[in-house]
Homo-oligomer: A and B are copies of this chain.
Amino acid sequence: MVKSKTEYKLRIPSQTENLELIRAFVGLVANKVGFSEDDIGKIELATDEACTNVIKHAYDPKDQKALDVAIQIDYQKFTVLVTDHGKGFHPDEIKIPDMKEYLAELRVGGLGIYLMRTLMDEVDYKIRPGLSNQVRMVKYFIDKDDSQLVQKRDRK
């Protein structure tokens, strides 16, 4: 059903008012390739979280630039790439919260990257500050929950 390698790209202003459009974009493409409602919801949410981070953290608020969302589809996986051209950050220094502690301490914020990692099969960052900062999120067409991929998903 899916062509050998297909790409969909969206470039829009980095503004929260465009999150709805971003979700519609990834949702329609995910639906087209045959994901379940459940998986479509996960892909939409993970992409929203990645884009919300760009909108909130990547640029100086008075200097809003473009936000890029690309989808790459091959025979085995659906890849979402969210790219900004902002200041970048150190993904390794971001502490992924322990949810028990988080809730016990009534903390606020800091759930985005945790959600992305929980919702998608693979999540990694390629940071080149000032040039481009990219998060890559992958969902496989066949659920590999009980294969070797689990280790990737569970890394801290």
Contact = CB atoms under 8 A, between A and B. Distances in A.
B8 A8 contact: no
Interface string A1-15: 001001111111100
Contacts of A8: 10-13, 21
B32 A17 contact: yes
A99 interface: no
A24 B7 CA distance: 18
Given A8-B12, A9-B10, A10-B10, A25 B29 contact: no
Interface centre among A3, A20, A25 (most CB of B within 10 A): A25
Contacts of A21: 8, 25, 28-29, 32
B28 A24 contact: yes
A24 B26 CA distance: 11
A3 B25 CA distance: 22
Nearest to A71: B12
Closest 3 CB pairs of A and B: A9-B11, A21-B28, A8-B12
